Amino acid sequence: MNTQTWLPYVWGALGGFGVLAAFYGLRRVTDKSLPESHRKAGLWLVNAGVIAVGASLALAIWVK
């Protein structure tokens, strides 16, 4: 299996993970029923999601 066949799956999975992580992080940050420390921990998920989506897009552009 060469790089051309599995690379689209990698950046698709990375992008999907990024969108889900950012979504769950934003839900956690905006949930007023959680304590402030738990809400702030949601920012890590948002940041990880944005970085994963950015890496996925950069990988897609680099391969093209």
**CA–CA separation, 46 and 5 (whole Å):** 30
Half-sphere exposure of 32 (CA within 13 A, CB side): 0
The whole-number pLDDT of residue 43 equals 94
The whole-number pLDDT of residue 20 equals 95
The whole-number pLDDT of residue 59 equals 80
CA 17-5-50 angle, 5° bins? 20
pLDDT tens for 2-42 read 666 777 788 888 899 999 999 999 999 999 999 999 999 99
Looking at residue 33, the DSSP 8-state letter turns out to be T
pTM: 0.80
